[in-house]
A and B are shown apart, each in its own frame.
Chain A
Amino acid sequence: MHGKSLVGAMQVTRVAGAVCIVFAAVGCGSQVVQGRPTAATYPDQPAFDPCLLPDEALVAAGVDPSTQDPDFFGVRMRGWNLCKWSNSWHFLGVAATKVPIEAVRENPRNTAITPVSVGTRDAFTYREATPDRHEYCDVAYRSTDGSVIIRTSMKNSEEEHTDPCGVAISSAQALDSFIPD
């Protein structure tokens, strides 16, 4: 009886050991992994994934890489790759979408469209025509398979940094060399 229990305990130990080996083999919980946790993936996602932007690019854009927040409340949307970060006073989001730049420019929801240059790219800033007390601004430009949208929004409307479009353009310029054409 006693011996049988010991065998049982040894078997449990052996199984637990095997499980540990499996976890060790896949590197469970011990490594920092770039990108996003497993989520629904679609064959028609944009080629560019902003969650793979290197830390140096994010630091240059003035945000903390450790604040990375992928997707839409954690849900990946068909045709959109989205990643967001923040610092003490604003949020920065970068989206790659299959939506053509013409559709972004002509969408009646987007107002105050203003042409700007980001590196050698023809871009424009705009605001979505919806009420929001926090200041925000988008920069958009054409990509090979759609558009890239870079959005800033202020954490507090009374912040001294009151030009969200200026912040969005600065961020877009800092990220420019890391985003494919």
Chain B
Amino acid sequence: MTAPNNMLAELASLGAAVEDGSLRLEPGVAEQCVAACEQFADDLKIVQANTRWMSTPSAYGILASAQTLGGKFEAKAIGANGLSDVLEQHIDTVHRLRDLFEKAARAYHEADARAAEMLVNRTDGP
């Protein structure tokens, strides 16, 4: 999997391409990408919610050693920089990706509408 920082750099580059109008996508592709991003982010959130549940039973162990082990597991799962935090970073990245595709789709439709308007004007002209 691409590291989040590398992915962010790629996203920034793609974002710049969108801004200067050099990114090209087929009609409907951007919408499909938005839907895929939302599905992926949802899947990551399910893993995140499961991670929280996973740590719950460990809080009720009877043996002290089990509670200690449970505490360490909990830190790995939902503590600072634990799995849940890492998942959050991935979810943020996927949301940025979704925003990028939404922006691209909007730019495409706007450009298409402008082109259509210009054509109409030319046809209606003298």
**Which residues of A line the B interface, CB within 8 A?**
69, 72-73, 77, 79-80, 82, 84, 86, 91, 93, 95, 97, 99, 103-104, 107, 109, 128, 130-134, 136, 149, 151, 153, 155
**Which residues of B line the A interface, CB within 8 A?**
42, 45-46, 48-50, 52-57, 59-60, 74, 78-80, 84-85, 88
- Pairwise interchain contact B78-A131, C-beta atoms closer than 8 A: yes
The contact of A109 among B48, B50, B59, B80, by CB within 8 Å, is B59
Collect the chain B residues with CB atoms within 8 Å of residue A133's CB: 88
Known: A72-B54, A130-B79, A132-B52. 7 other contacts (CB 8 A): A72-B53, A84-B50, A91-B45, A131-B78, A133-B88, A149-B56, A151-B53
Q: Give the interface centre of A80, A130, A153, A155 by most chain B CB atoms within 10 Å.
A: A130
- Pairwise interchain contact B46-A132, C-beta atoms closer than 8 A: no
Nearest first, the 7 closest Cβ-Cβ pairs linking A and B are: A99-B60, A91-B49, A130-B78, A109-B59, A72-B54, A77-B57, A155-B45
